[in-house]
Amino acid sequence: MDMMSSVASTSTAYSQAQLATDYSMALTKKIMDSAEELALNELEQMLPPSPYTFDVYA
């Protein structure tokens, strides 16, 4: 029984570590997406205003 309990605890620890890794990666991706969106917004604000009534940058 001791070996089965050891295997079960190892499996549980592995599952917990995998869950923590997956959560961390998902959070990191979300933060990177948000940072990218903010950077694009900042770059758009830095563009000089167009003297034309239509978008010449498109």
Confidence band, pLDDT 50/70/90 cuts, at residue 54: low
| CB 50 within 8 Å of CB 57 | yes
| CB 57 within 8 Å of CB 47 | yes
Q: Report phi then psi at 54, rounded to 5.
A: -120, 165
d(CA 41, CA 44): 5
| Tens digit of each residue's pLDDT (9 = 90 or more) over 17-40 | 999 999 999 999 999 999 999 999
Q: Does the pLDDT at position 52 exceed 70?
A: no
Average pLDDT of the chain, as a whole number: 87
How large is the average pLDDT for residues 39-52?
A: 83
- Amino acid 53: pLDDT: 67
| Residue pointed to by tokens 């498109």 | 58
